[in-house]
Structure 1
Amino acid sequence: MSKSVQFYLLGKKGFSVLKDFIYTYGAENITLVIGSRDKGVKNDYFEKTQSICNEHNISFLERHSPLPATQVDISFAIGWRWIIDQPCQLIIFHDSILPKFRGFSPLVNMLIQGEPRIGVTALHASAEYDAGDIIAQASVNIIYPIKISNAIDKIAPLYSELLNTIYASILKDKELPAKKQISTDASYSLWRNEQDYLIDWSDSSVSILRFCDAVGYPFRGAKTYIDDIIYRIFDVETVEDVNVENREKHIGKVIFIKNECPIVVCGEGLLKITHFSTEHSLENMAKINFRSRFSDRIS
């Protein structure tokens, strides 16, 4: 017996889940897909999601469009960031191992903090965000350094695995698990905006490396200032530290330039910048003056 499905999808993870679901269960079980554009990333997979729906004759709507009165058995939200108000059963897929990192940008914030495991939680929708009863979880160990794009590739298959398992149970009319979260173990991951892309050079070089990797592609990239010019930092690597006299007075300064790559004094350690550009145009790193200082504010 089939069960009709409605999807709320955002980004690469949403697209991957949709593609895998069509391959496993067929497009005929999908009543509707709701998608959204995401201006905060360079590739939001909106067009690809819409295209695969058109290819398989699946109804597709963009967020804010009026929803039809069609009845569905179950809805799944993958990567979705907005409130969903609907009568049918709703299952949320969240980018963390709940109850840790409830809220927004959990994967980015986990990578910034250097969490050794990343994962996905499928949970029943609730009035309080990401506080619903847990259906299932999956996780994977990671090794640093790791870029956000690679981390997404690691957890995307976990989404499909969980959804396929859950939908198989729904097809058999099995009652889904509903494990209460331990609220005292909960932590919250807050939303990030453009200001949160700024590098704090007083951090350690290891922390800044994790930060740059966590906010890189498909996001816009970490940013910093030299005087009043914004630079986007895409690739960095730690290098062996040296004894910097009065280090706290010289944080953010270029100490060496090697192979046209500036090496910057951090609160602890040194960081080599191997790929960066100005905000609006590519900039040859050789043009960076040796007497340059990176900062989190306009000089």
Structure 2
Amino acid sequence: MDRFLTADDLEKALRQDVMDGLTGEPKSLPPKWFYDERGSALFEEITQLAEYYPTRCERAIIAERAPEIAVATRADTLLELGAGSGEKTRLLLDAFDAFDGTLGEYVPVDVSGDFLVAAADQIAGDYPALAVRAVVADYEQHLHLLPTGGRRLIAFLGGTIGNMMPAKRIGFLQGLRATMAPGDTLLFGADLVKEKARLVRAYDDALGVTAEFNRNVLHVINDRLGGDFVPEAYEHVAVWDAGNEWIEMRLRSTVDQVVRIEVLDLTVRFAEGEEMRTEISSKFRMERLSAELEAAKLTLDRCWTDADGDFSLVLAAPAA
């Protein structure tokens, strides 16, 4: 294992993000802080909901196209950013194994060392011919430190690229391109623009699971920074921003209230009806995907969608 991020680094990042977000105008919090143990379990529940199509669609595309991806990339290393549990990863690993067995190394990258060790050990046990090199890192900060060499397929799945603001997303792609050599490829999932009602339902399910997931960021702040948020005093809001073509998740204060965060020595006031942004999820058209890749000196090589055209899986390569 390579470790470029410690638990102390994560705590410092949380403190800085919360201080910046709660003193900004309007208030905001980054979505990466949803994911403590409870938040991760809630998100897994979300992926099983009828309303939430992205995970199912991406999995279906990978299941169908993994052999084609193996042939097209001929990678000897699979480097996965935000590796997670590895369910979709196994579809790729199986396809490479069936193709010619030349994939020799798997490099999962995640911020959670304990989670990463468990997932990497499981992959290593199930694929004994594969060298597994886990990397504890924040892919938004440590791209330049990630392993290079060989023919790498860099996987960034889950539609996570849509959670970045457009300028930050292009900067991220540019940073990734700077690490790529000829023969390297990038595979990522991107949700597509569709009718407003379906998009909003995907982020505001009837059972309220997404609402609990959204409010979980307040639980994280309470637990780790000594906050006294009352999560039940915030309503979950999901709106479609047609101008920016993204879903925006917010928390709306239902009353005038004052929140104290002891670790930051910070007192924050919320007015009744005041909204705090917690996530954006951009939806894409092919023209936008191509333009953003071009801005990062990447070329869209192939793009696959599910049968209904709801979600896309994009393969890109360094521009000549």
Tell me if TM exceeds 0.5: no
Name the structure where helix makes up a greater proportion of residues.
2
Greater gyration radius:
1
Which range, TM-score by smaller chain? 0.3 to 0.5
Q: Which has the higher contact order (CA 8 A, sep 6+)?
A: 2
